[in-house]
Chain A
């Protein structure tokens, strides 16, 4: 501790440079905290236990449709209380950049299995009674200025209409809201009726994208998932039953290996930090050759001087890294909230803190050791002659 003042003074000798380097370390570890939170979620193993909603998709791929005929057999399984289904529609409103998820769903079963979707009784009634009805999320209403009663045209990018047009027209009958505590994914989605979709499409009639299975006892969800897959084993449409969380992850993974992408970004970020902090340390020590020579002249051993320089690097990296991870911890809940439940809750867990600490120490050694070893080898008389 008695050397703490020397370590801090060494770092503050060039305040602006140290501050900028500190900021780059903070930024790197904010990114690390955020990205590692995402990577951790994507790398978690399968887990169907304790889930009251299971998702059944094709075993081959989540974009491979399943026959509608499977619904009755799944519903007949003991422990299954309700089965809903959905198709990814991929419709575009006016322009491709206006992307939002839009799904053709089994109306009543979908609303029953998704109680987090808040509707007035009139809206629910209208959705169940109107073939062209659409429910839109409150975020979409805020984004596009829609209101109940509006006609909503969507261009089908996957499913052309059998009328010879790509345009599908819907009637907005309700706005899906979510409670303050639970930001439902539906707030950013549009739902419409499967019967309208299935009758109107040119191909693929009688198939669904995936089933949502409500189970009576969440403790039995693993067992029921296995029973569903066993039902269709060796059939033309084998299934893969998983938790809603795993399904969401698998859906996101369609766009690429998220874990690998995140790891690549993190590697680039830390390589840059390594160069920036390495340069700061090297420059800082080079400018202090005279000071280091004086310390050695006064009787500081080479090892002590070496340790002082490594301690500077440690302080810079650990203080910056901890500040960055703390910031990430503050930001991640907001990111999770914005994703509206599409991913499991993101957090800077103990694992991320431990990995982060390891990275901070490793980076500190990498950037601190070369100039420290230079200081260790420094010959006093040469350095004093140059100073």
Chain B
């Protein structure tokens, strides 16, 4: 599903080049659930952004779901993301003026589905995360855990093969975090979603099948969970 070869990423700050990732080779099979770990500044989120097609490498190849992402234009990448990736963020990133259902419908606006079909699919996704009864609530009327469930529903509503999750439980208490991680685990095991999750939390990483450690922009250790 994910093949990275010699991936390097650096940012230019003034006259200085800051290398964030250095020669990363990584392979993630379809149906895998990978926890990407490492200290702050190790390059976890940058690597996740490259896998999710939110950023382009400075050098190397990023092949995800059969597409070489470094060769795609911005518009092609946008279309590719819409078709292949679901995103879950630490702070949920729901649009506050839309109801839960309308938030979940957002990715479907990019398809040719009718309004009724979009609403039906959004409700199914909300049922999957156990929030069908909160469909009309706005994010401000939901708890943090509920917001993250809505975000997960939004991530899966268009049935992508890959979910990229950036600290999905970083803003939640232990109990709620475990519920969210259990939900991700169910999506991986029962629905075959490939999941790449950045986390600081070793307990969160326990839910993954595999851990990958990053340190100073390079892969250090790979562990099976």
Contact = CB atoms under 8 A, between A and B. Distances in A.
State yes or no: do A and B come from one complex: yes
B115 A2 contact: yes
Interface in B69-115: 74-75, 78-83, 87, 89, 91, 93, 95-98, 102, 106-107, 109-110, 115
Contact of B79 (A6, A9, A290, A299): A299
Nearest to B106: A298
B78 A296 contact: yes
Nearest to A290: B93
Contacts of B83: 299
Contacts of B87: 297-298
B109 A387 contact: no
Nearest to A294: B93
B98 A9 contact: yes
A13 interface: yes
Nearest to B118: A2
Contacts of A2: 109, 115
Contact of B97 (A13, A295, A297, A387): A13
A387 B98 contact: no
Contact of B110 (A10, A298, A381): A298
A299 B54 CA distance: 10
A283 interface: no
B54 A297 contact: yes
Interface in A206-225: none
A192 B54 CA distance: 86
Interface residues of A, number: 25
Contacts of B80: 299
B55 interface: yes
A303 to B, nearest CB: 8
Nearest to A10: B97
Nearest to A380: B54
Contacts of A387: 91, 93
A294 B110 contact: no
A12 B97 CA distance: 8
B82 A298 contact: yes
Contacts of A3: 109
Nearest to B55: A381
A99 interface: no
B97 A301 contact: no
B81 A298 contact: yes
Interface residues of B, number: 28
A2 B93 CA distance: 21
A301 B96 contact: no
Nearest to B89: A384
A291 interface: yes
A2 B79 CA distance: 18
A300 interface: yes
Nearest to A296: B78
Interface string B24-53: 000000000000000000000010010010
A291 B106 CA distance: 12
Nearest to A302: B74
A6 B110 CA distance: 13
A145 interface: no
Nearest to A14: B97
B78 A300 contact: yes
Contact of A298 (B91, B98, B102, B107): B107
B55 A302 contact: no
Nearest to A3: B109
A161 B194 CA distance: 104
A45 interface: no
Contact of B95 (A294, A299, A301): A294
Interface in A357-386: 380-381, 384
Interface string B1-40: 0000000000000000000000000000000000000000
Interface in A177-234: none
A278 B49 CA distance: 33
Interface of A: 2-3, 5-6, 9-10, 12-13, 290-291, 293-303, 380-381, 384, 387
For the complex of A and B, the 7 pairs showing the least CB-CB separation, nearest first, are: A299-B82, A9-B97, A299-B81, A301-B78, A294-B93, A380-B54, A13-B97
Given A298-B154, A301-B79, A387-B91, 20 more contacts: A2-B115, A3-B109, A6-B98, A9-B97, A13-B96, A13-B97, A290-B93, A297-B81, A297-B87, A297-B93, A299-B78, A299-B79, A299-B80, A299-B107, A300-B110, A303-B75, A380-B54, A381-B54, A384-B89, A387-B93
25 contacts: A3-B109, A9-B95, A9-B98, A9-B102, A13-B96, A13-B97, A290-B93, A293-B93, A294-B93, A294-B95, A297-B81, A297-B93, A298-B81, A298-B106, A298-B107, A298-B154, A299-B79, A300-B82, A300-B109, A301-B75, A381-B46, A381-B54, A384-B54, A387-B91, A387-B93
Interface of B: 46, 49, 52, 54-55, 74-75, 78-83, 87, 89, 91, 93, 95-98, 102, 106-107, 109-110, 115, 154
